[in-house]
Amino acid sequence: MKKKQVLSADEYVDGIKSGDRFILSRAITLIESNKAEHRQLAQEILTKCQDNSQTSFRVGITGSPGVGKSTFIEKLGSNLIERGHRIAVLTIDPSSQVTKGSILGDKTRMNILSASENAFVRPSPSSGTLGGVARNTRETIILCEAAGYDMVFVETVGVGQSEIAVHYMTDLFLLLLLPGAGDELQGIKKGVVEMADLLIVNKSDGDREKLAELTRRSYVNALRLFPLKNKDNRPDVYTCSAISGKGVPDVIDALEAYTKQTDVIHHKRLKQDKYWLRQSIESALIASFFDQPSLQEELAKEEKCIMEGKTSPFLAAERLLKLFAKGSK
Ligand code: GDP
């Protein structure tokens, strides 16, 4: 097929469903495009690919830079493929939006998976707001599922806001930790530990094996102090070595056991849809507020008043929001 050939939505859908990775990549590029006609075509493709029959399992993976995420996904993915799974790996890399550099993407990552027929690895887009990238990733998940990938991994760095987004788009949220250091030292925020369904102390090999086990136990103890929230069980804590592969089969057994909890997954996905509905409304409202030139003038005036001590931010916000509500009637 020629590169620039224009395809119809149906041709995209047929290509995706028949496992054509080139067409899948092109469809994802449409999702990521800022051009209105691309996005419209992407929405048509998505509607035709959407399938609520829950044929796949979505796993979020986070952890500080250097903890071993890509090595772990490479090992885990290879093992899963051996067990007959087809896996997709997507990344949300918040650093690339801020610095135009990247914590996740610069390295050569996941060579084995990238070369495998049964894996699809797609790096994070290099531009866009977190909200935009999160939306793109959720839509990309749907296309990957339509293409027959039954395990979809979404990887992110556990240092920003992106892990909240990943938590709300996956069925299971996995946190990778290092042996020894407490979470503050690892740059992991408490909220991220609370979101995790499964904690894994990686690099449990060589002389760090004992330390990894101690770290595992101290997390088990720490988790006892956390409120249970909606989960029936406390999260499990495992040790593994992404290099040697020791402990990885246990993680896979745990993942496969989770995939069988179809009611739990179904319920979780419905709750996530509610979350994304609200998120979409919030971001659309914010965008339409800041898109109105007249409001921008008023905003500048209010900011000046605040600087001169003539009004409070709350009064100013109230006035601006009233103007906004009037304008949008
Ligand atoms: P990421 O930034 O979290 O994706 O981490 P990488 O997968 O790039 O790994 C960072 C470094 O840790 C690399 O040098 C890996 O070879 C090393 N590494 C990853 N997993 C393990 C492990 O289980 N044991 C040991 N000893 N090193 C590991």
Q: How many CB atoms lie within 10 A of CB 211?
A: 17
- The protein residue whose alpha carbon is closest to atom 17 in ligand 1 is 68
Q: What's phi and psi for 155, nearest 5 deg?
A: -105, 140
Supply the pLDDT for residue 127: 63
Residue 3, CB half-sphere, CA atoms under 13 Å: how many? 1
Supply the pLDDT for residue 60: 96
Pocket of ligand 1 (CB under 6 A): 63, 65-71, 107, 202-203, 205, 241-243
- The structure tokens listed for 297 are 């003038």
Say if pTM beats, i.e. exceeds, 0.85: yes
Could you tell which of 61, 64, 67, 71 is best to mutate to test the pocket of ligand 1, judged by most ligand atoms within 8 Å of the CB? Answer: 71
Do 108 and 74 meet the contact criterion of CB atoms below 8 Å apart? no
Query: Could you read off the pLDDT tens digit of each residue along the chain, which spans 329 residues?
Result: 445 678 999 999 999 999 999 999 999 999 988 889 999 999 999 999 988 777 899 999 999 888 999 999 999 999 999 999 999 999 887 655 555 555 555 455 788 898 899 999 988 766 667 777 888 999 999 999 999 999 999 998 756 678 889 999 999 999 999 998 665 556 667 788 888 999 999 999 999 999 999 999 988 888 888 776 655 678 899 999 999 999 999 999 999 999 999 999 999 999 999 999 998 898 889 888 988 889 999 999 999 999 999 999 999 999 999 999 988 65
The rounded Å distance from CA 223 to ligand 1 centre is: 25
Place of tokens 């796993």: 59
- Distance between CA atoms of residues 125 and 94, nearest Å: 10
The rounded Å distance from CA 156 to ligand 1 centre is: 15
The rounded Å distance from CA 202 to ligand 1 centre is: 8
How many residues can be counted in the chain? 329
Q: Return the bridge partners of 156, or none.
A: 92
